[in-house]
Structure 1
Amino acid sequence: MIELTKGTHRVGLLPETGGSIAYWKVNDADILSPVADERLAAFEGQAVAAYPLVPYSGRIAGAGFSFEGQDYALTPNFGGESNAIHGNGWAHAWTVAQQDPDRAILLFDHTPDTEERAREWPFAYRCVMSFVLHEDGLSVEMVVVNRDEKPQPVGFGFHPFFVKGAAATLGFKARGVWENGAGQVPTTHLLLDDDAGLRWSFEKARDLKDVSVDNCFSGWDGEAELAEREAEFSVRIEADPVFQHLVVYTAPDKPFVAVEPVTNMGDAVHHSEVMERGLHVLAPGGRVNGTIRFRIVDRRG
């Protein structure tokens, strides 16, 4: 465990557990909610409050894809499904490259040098994550570098679980939403200003008490806000433009809401017809990066 501190903020990092966050507390109040998901077997039942999604976000249908004329098979890594999900960065230990009282840099290198590792992801890459505490919040920067000798498709994002109280609300702007078909794989795109899409809109902050959502929103403007009606502060998410999509997961019986800034739509490798799918094809040595800022905003004025 690594603990970062600054002012009233404390963040616990778990480099050995997928480069994840164990907790984020402000004045000893939990901002994030540790969640244990037995379907993510590599976590071995350990609860985590946030974790990286690299080298892709969401599911890859059938745990396989074709790229530049080559077929690749992946190992399904989510219990009970035939799909692959969220890459493999979360499933391995990360190296601590730098540690200071209020910041840390974690590093993960993936090399497909065995059949098992190649079926996690068939290309070599490096991901660097920088966590920095500020007086008003936490920033997370992710950099992905193609270490392979051939181009590779890359997407990435971050998966935090926020505490959801009885009066929680969420608001953000997006252009569209992907409805899911079998296996929670995106199938139909709806524009949020059409009649069919209006029911999905969060442009006016929505009460989360009875909301059930597990979908990817497209054309996200990079801002979102989580609040509790009677709380003195809210959490504002501000992400770089590379994060074109926002995944939201919540259900009435869950004490948390996942609000995930991501670059790519789910199953992006199978949707070359979608211009803004958010998948980046990196040449050898190429890189892509982005920063997400989670700010605590005083609502008392």
Structure 2
Amino acid sequence: MIELKLGEAHLGLLPGLGGSLAFWRLRGRDLLVPTADPNLAAQKNTPVAGYPLVPFSNRIGDGKFSFEGVDYTLAKNFSAESNAIHGNGWEREWQVAQHDSERAILFLDHNPAKGDDPAQWPFAYRAVLSFVLHRDGLSVEMLIANRDTRAQPVGMGFHPFFARSDDMTMQFAASSVWENGPDMLPIGQIACEGTWNFATARTIGETRLDNCFAGWGGKTVLGYQSAGYEVTIEADPVFQHLVVFTAPEKPFVAVEAVSNMNNGLNHPDLLENGVHVLAPGANISGVIRYKLRELRG
């Protein structure tokens, strides 16, 4: 484990376990909840507080997609479903490029031509993660570079497990949301109205979500009134979608700033699917910023 410390801020990183977060503590609070998911076998049932989503976010239906006239089949890496999920970055060991007390830079090279499993991803890429600890927050910078000789479609995001409380509120602006079918893949896009509208802060309570929101404004605020603080998530425009998972029986809420919509690789017909086609040597990058604000002065 790599540990970063700055004042009352403390971050634990697990490069060998998918570039994951072990914990994030600030002013005596555990802002994230380390969570083990036995369906994610590569995490070896180890609790993690967050992990990168590269080279795509969320699901690819039945692990299959087509790109530039070629059909591809990915390994189904989530035992509860028949879909490929969350890319392969969380399944791999990341290398440490550098780190000090406040910053760590990790990278992952995936290259099927050099023996990496093409069923994880058929194209060569490099991903870079930069974690910067602040006295009142955390910045996560992500980059994906195409190191193949062919163009490839990519997406990215980050999957943190925020601590849940009985009076926790959530606020963000989005234009639409994707409803899911039984296979948890999007089947229809509807306006964010009624129970889908979080433009005004709402108590999460018994809300149950596992959905991708589009037209996200790039900012989400999680409020913890009884604990006296709130966490703001702000993301660069490349992260144009927001995936939210919450269930009353879980001790966390996952609020994921991501680039591509769920199953976006199978929706090339949608101009705003968030999938980026990278030419050889090209890259995309962006920063997600998490900031704590005290509500009691």
- Short-chain TM bin: over 0.9
Question: Which shifted more, 249-258 or 106-115?
Answer: 106-115
Q: How many Å separate the matches in 2 of 1:115 and 1:65?
A: 22
1:96 corresponding residue in structure 2:
96
Partner residue, 1:296: 292
The offset of 1:265, in angstroms, is 0.2
The answer to whether 1:285 aligns with 2:281 is yes
2:188 paired residue number:
188
Count of aligned pairs? 297
Q: Percent identity?
A: 53
Per the alignment, residue 238 of structure 2 pairs with 242
Question: Which of 208, 211, 215 pairs up with 1:215?
Answer: 211
1:7-18 superposed matches below 5 A:
7-18=7-18
TM-score (norm: length of structure 2): 0.98
Q: How many angstroms apart in 1 are the aligned matches of 2:238 and 2:31?
A: 25
Give the SS at the match of 2:16: coil
Question: Quick one: which amino acid aligns to residue 266 of structure 1?
Answer: N
Query: C-alpha displacement at 1:208, in angstroms?
Result: 1.2
Give the Cα–Cα distance (whole angstroms) in 2 for the partners of residues 209 and 115 of structure 1.
Answer: 47
- State whether structure 2 residue 105 is matched by structure 1 residue 109: no
CA distance in 1, matches of 2:29, 2:295: 16
SS of residue paired to 1:25? strand
Distance 1:103 1:142 in 2: 14
Q: Which amino acid aligns with 1:32?
A: L
Q: Partners in 2 of 1:8 and 1:208 — Cα distance?
A: 28
Q: How does 1:1-301 map to 2 (within 5 A)?
A: 1-113=1-113, 117-192=117-192, 197-301=193-297
Question: CA RMSD for the aligned pairs?
Answer: 1.1
After superposition, give the CA deviation of every residue in 1:187-238 in whole Å (9 maximum; x if it has no partner): 100011xxxx422111111111211000000010100011112222110001
Displacement of 1:156 in angstroms is 0.2
Mapped to 2, the partners of 1:77 and 1:218 lie a distance apart of: 26
Q: Does the C-alpha gap of structure 1 residues 233 and 127 become closer, same or farther in structure 2, counting only changes over 3 Å? A: same
The SS at the match of 2:119 is: helix
Query: Is this contact kept in 1: 2:19–2:52, CA < 8 A?
Result: yes
> Which residue identity lines up with residue 146 of structure 1 in the other structure?
N
- Stretches of structure 2 lacking an aligned partner (at least 5 in a row): none
Q: Deviations over 1:22-44 (max 9, x none)?
A: 00001221000000000000001
Structure 2 SS opposite 1:62: helix
CA–CA separation in structure 2 for the residues paired with 1:198 and 1:109 = 44
Pairwise CA distance, 1:114: 7.1
> Matches of 2:194 and 2:117 in 1, distance apart?
43
Determine the C-alpha separation between the residues in 2 that align with 1:34 and 1:14: 12
1:129 counterpart SS class: strand
* Secondary structure class of the residue paired with 2:113: coil
**Relative to 1, partners in 2 of residues 1:293 and 1:125: Cα closer, same or farther, differing over 3 Å?**
same
Q: Distance in 2 between matches of 1:132 and 1:273?
A: 37
- Kept after mapping to 1: 8 A contact 2:26/2:136: no
- CA distance in 1 between counterparts of 2:145 and 2:116 reads 21
Letter of the structure 1 residue corresponding to residue 276 of structure 2 = H
Whether the 8 Å CA contact 2:61–2:185 is kept in 1: the answer is yes
**Quick one: distance in 1 between partners of 2:231 and 2:104?**
22
Structure 2: how far apart are the matches of 1:191 and 1:150? 37
Contact map agreement 2:178 2:187 (CA 8 A) in 1: yes
